[in-house]
Amino acid sequence: MEDATCERIIKKLDSLIRQDPLMDEFDIVFSPGEVNRSPVVSVEHKLGLESWCLKHVYAHAHANILKTRHSKRIQDPAPMLRWTQFCLLVAPEVATFWNIRKQLLQHGSLSVDADLHLTRLVLSRKPKCMEVFQHRKWLFHHILAPCPSLPSPPCAIDHHNGSGPDEEPNRRFLLGELEICRWTADKHQNNYHAWNHRLWVLQQLAERPLGLAEVCRAEYEACHRWVRTHVSEHSGLHYMQHLLATLVTLVAEGVLLNLAEAVPSATCPKDLYCTELEFNRNLIEQYPGHEALFCHRRVLLQRLQDILLHAAPLHRTASPPPPALKRSCVETVNGEWSTALLSERDLVNKCLQTDSYQKTLGERHAHWLSNVLAV
């Protein structure tokens, strides 16, 4: 294929992306062989590229990127932007292309909106691409956070949760990232990188107390909806563990007044984890044979144990407590923990009565209870 033909394809792709800020999906369209028409297809905000031209056009763009980069001076950034855009749509795992675009962003040759739009298109094809999430983090830390007056990207999906136009831009961007994480987690199972990015977003939001209670409540409810329909995904359950720990920490640090702001059914950490254990048990009984639920349950039990063991010191005063009060606190803690362990024994016994994989999981859980919690 001639270089001029490759350039026409690259320019056509770039033109369609620029003209349609609502374009939200890109993919490679299989074609058995070369045909006498443009391989670039655009229908209802969806962009496609026929597979027959990939090898030739990618090789052309790749060679030009390296040639221009080695010259150490980019006289005209427009071709470099088109080449890197094409290569990243095809092979987003190549960090060199992202680094070139970072340099162009810092030099003012590329807009943040254009790069956010590109990452959105890349994620539509490869939702588990770690490099894309890393690039979006970099955009926030180096471009958006230092310049909060920058407008939010017009290509973003509707993710403002009803927020008004006067909302702080960085927070608005982070709320959008939560929607990006939900969307990519739906597109690819066990999407660790999407959940890890979601955890990063939660950490950033925790530093911005305005509206944090509403965000935490929405995340708590969204995670429960997710877990109900994805009982085998460790990544989502791992995020849930971090979310619960974050809620407890925010209350302890005074960022949230109480847990009920985010979780109406919980007034203290003990209630929170007891509620989660009950929710987890219902899932185990409703959807037998899923190891991820048992692994998640063990984390919940360990945290409940830590909370109960540290409950008595919360009653300390300047002078030693009376023996009767001290004994009462210990008895209360022991009684609550004994109740939790009785529930575990009952769950194990129910699992052992089955003939499926649930029985094996019950045996493993009993072994863990014996060796870790000394039950």
pLDDT digits (tens, 9 = 90+) for 282-302: 999 999 999 999 999 999 999
Residue 104 lies in a domain: yes
What count of other Cβ atoms lies within 10 Å of the Cβ of residue 306?
12
> What is the pLDDT of the chain when averaged over all its residues?
87
Q: Is the pLDDT of residue 174 over 80?
A: yes
Residue 167 lies in a domain: no
Residue 211 lies in a domain: no
Which of 285, 284, 312, 311 shows the shortest CA–CA distance to 296?
A: 284
Residue 41 lies in a domain: yes
Residue 113 lies in a domain: yes
What confidence category does residue 316 fall into, taking pLDDT thresholds of 50, 70 and 90?
A: very low
CA distance 366 to 375: 9
Please say whether the beta carbons of 21 and 41 come within 8 A: no
Interior CA angle at 355 toward 353 and 358, to 5°? 80
Q: Is the pLDDT of residue 227 over 90?
A: yes
Q: Is the pLDDT of residue 321 over 70?
A: no
Which of 123, 72, 57, 120 shows the shortest CA–CA distance to 93?
A: 123
Of 201-210, 303-312, 343-352, 364-373, the least confident = 303-312
Residue 353 lies in a domain: no
Residue 24 φ then ψ, to 5°: -130, 0
What confidence category does residue 190 fall into, taking pLDDT thresholds of 50, 70 and 90?
A: very high
Q: Is the pLDDT of residue 305 over 50?
A: yes
Residue 236 lies in a domain: no
Instruction: Compare 335 and 53 and report the one with higher pLDDT.
Output: 53
Per the structure, the count of domains in the chain is 1
Residue 127 lies in a domain: yes
Question: What residues make up the domain containing 27?
Answer: 1-148
Two tokens, residue 357: 């994989």
Which of 281, 278, 270 shows the shortest CA–CA distance to 336?
A: 270
CA distance 149 to 10: 32
pLDDT digits (tens, 9 = 90+) for 32-91: 777 768 899 999 999 999 999 999 999 999 999 999 887 766 778 999 999 999 999 999
Range from 40-44, 67-71, 140-144, 160-164 that averages highest in pLDDT: 40-44
Token pair 């939200």 is found at 24
